Each structure stands twice: as structure tokens, then as C-alpha cells.
């Protein structure tokens, strides 16, 4: 997709948080992250006739893979600063942008690290003494099947929860005597969890359980093997 590039800030709608002027039609629109949801920004660009969106971080933060309504790319702050400087230096001539498919690259440095947005324990004061979270599971930019025979990416408990539920389904299928025995199922999940070996902080240490990952990272194979070994 190669189209003229328009800075939404120059159109008076820097956050792409509402309808955009006619100048956005047929263009790739540069939108600033913040305030309104990222996907909503793309939707506003699309309904205003825009052909694509470049979403940028005005301040250092993660870039996120979303299920946008139109071709879109999310860039970090250093890249955004370069792009904004380029646009500022070329106000008297048209600038075009290109959004095309790329290769998926495994970010091994981020693998098995607890997400910055992941909730931390402990529980509120009135519930102290109960360790939460119980366990950690994959939950950042997970590619998954969607209704209608398509695919998409999502993050958070929307993905971590189904991963753990799927492990429980495997356990119960392998060992029907576990069905409905929540306490024993939770115990097996905790006992077979893989120790967290990511970056440690004052709030996320190697202790078990801890306030960041509970008993560790869910291990489907170990959990099913433990379920099968029940007497």
C-alpha cells in the first residue's frame, strides 16, 4: 500500500479520536498514541476515507500488534521522532508512505519475560495471606484462530486464561477422575509450573510463589503427565 502520508496533527486531530477532514481520504494517516483506544484510531481513519495508518508512540512504550480495521503499523518513539522531523523538513512537498507485509521475527529477548502490563500481587489488605497470581501463561501478541475462519492477535488474560483452560482440558481428558476437582487441578498446575527465569526485579524475584508469576509458568506437558500418574 503506497499512498500520500498525512499527519493527523496537521489536520487538527492528532489523536485520530474523531472524524478526520477530507485531506485524509485515500491517504496513510499518522496518528499519535494515547487517550482513545488504538483500534478506534484506525477505525476513525477508515471511516474518514483513509487508506492506512501509522500509529506512533510520543513517549517510550511498547509497540503493540492489534487487529486493525485497515493496513496499519505501530512505530516506537525513536522512529516516530525521525518521521516527524522528516515531515517537518518537507512541508512544501508531498510525502508518500508504504505499508507492506513483512517477515515475522522471533524476539528472543522478550520471550518468557513477564509483560509490563501484567497485574502484580499481593491482594488488597483485607485479603492478605492469599498469594495471587497463581500462575503465569502466554499472553502477549498471541496469534490465535478467530470466529469466521480467520486469525488475529490479542494480549492479556484474553489469551493467558484460555491457555490455562486448555491445559486443564488436556489434564481432565487424560485423567477423568480429576474432572470437577478444582483444588487438586490447581495443585497440579502449581506443582508442575516451570520456574520463571526472566528478568527479576524488586517486585518479581525468584521466590515461589511470588507476586509476579505465582508458582511459575504453566507447563502443559508436565501437568498432563502428573495427571496421568495419579494413583
Domains of the chain: 2-98 (3.50.30.30), 129-228 (3.40.50.200)
Cell of 65: 500488534
- In three-state secondary structure terms, 150 is strand
Return the pLDDT at 167: 97
Return the pLDDT at 107: 63
Helix axes 157-174, 182-192, angle to 10 degrees: 110
Helix (H) or strand (E) holding 157: helix 157-174
What HEC string does 30-52 produce?
EEECECECHHHHHHHHHHCCCCE
* Phi and psi angles of residue 125, each rounded to the nearest 5 degrees, phi first: -50, -45
Is the pTM higher than 0.75? The answer reads no
Return the pLDDT at 31: 96
Q: How long a stretch of residues is the chain?
A: 231
Residue ranges of alpha helices (H) inside the chain are 38-47, 77-89, 157-174, 182-192, 220-228
CA 133 from centre of chain: 19
- In three-state secondary structure terms, 178 is helix
- Cα-based distances in Å from 51 to 32, 200, 221: 17, 43, 45
Return the pLDDT at 183: 93
Asked if residues 203 and 118 have their Cβ atoms less than 8 Å apart, the reply is no
CA 126 from centre of chain: 31
Q: How far apart are CA 205 and CA 207, in angstroms?
A: 6
Return the pLDDT at 53: 95
Cell of 182: 478444582
pLDDT by residue for the chain (231 residues), tens digit each? 889 999 999 999 999 999 999 999 999 999 999 989 999 999 999 999 999 999 999 988 878 878 888 999 999 999 999 999 999 988 888 899 988 876 666 666 667 778 777 877 776 655 666 667 889 999 888 888 888 888 878 888 888 999 999 999 999 999 999 999 999 999 999 999 998 877 766 666 667 788 788 898 999 999 999 999 998
Asked if residues 15 and 35 have their Cβ atoms less than 8 Å apart, the reply is yes
- DSSP label at residue 193: P
Return the pLDDT at 124: 65
Amino acid at each position: 500500500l503506497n499512498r500520500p502520508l498525512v499527519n493527523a496533527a496537521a489536520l487538527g486531530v492528532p489523536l485520530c479520536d474523531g472524524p478526520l477532514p477530507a485531506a485524509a481520504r485515500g491517504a496513510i494517516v499518522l496518528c499519535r498514541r494515547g487517550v482513545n483506544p488504538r483500534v478506534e484510531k484506525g477505525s476513525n481513519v477508515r471511516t474518514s476515507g483513509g487508506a492506512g495508518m501509522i500509529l506512533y508512540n510520543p513517549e517510550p512504550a511498547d509497540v503493540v500488534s492489534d487487529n486493525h480495521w485497515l493496513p496499519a503499523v505501530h512505530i516506537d518513539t525513536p522512529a516516530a521522532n525521525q518521521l516527524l522531523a522528516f515531515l517537518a523538513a518537507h512541508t512544501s512537498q508531498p510525502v508518500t508512505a508504504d505499508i507492506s507485509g513483512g517477515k515475522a521475527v522471533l524476539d528472543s529477548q522478550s520471550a518468557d519475560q513477564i509483560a509490563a502490563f501484567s497485574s502484580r500481587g499481593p491482594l488488597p489488605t483485607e485479603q492478605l495471606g492469599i498469594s495471587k497470581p497463581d500462575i503465569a501463561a502466554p499472553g502477549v501478541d498471541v496469534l490465535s484462530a478467530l470466529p469466521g475462519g480467520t486469525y488475529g492477535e490479542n494480549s492479556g488474560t484474553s489469551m493467558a486464561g484460555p491457555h490455562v483452560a486448555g491445559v486443564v482440558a488436556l489434564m481432565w481428558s487424560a485423567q477423568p477422575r480429576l474432572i470437577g476437582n478444582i483444588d487438586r487441578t490447581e495443585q497440579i498446575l502449581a506443582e508442575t509450573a516451570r520456574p520463571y527465569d526472566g528478568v527479576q526485579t524488586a517486585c518479581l524475584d525468584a521466590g515461589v510463589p511470588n507476586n509476579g508469576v505465582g508458582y511459575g509458568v504453566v507447563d502443559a506437558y508436565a501437568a498432563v503427565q502428573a495427571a496421568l500418574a495419579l494413583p
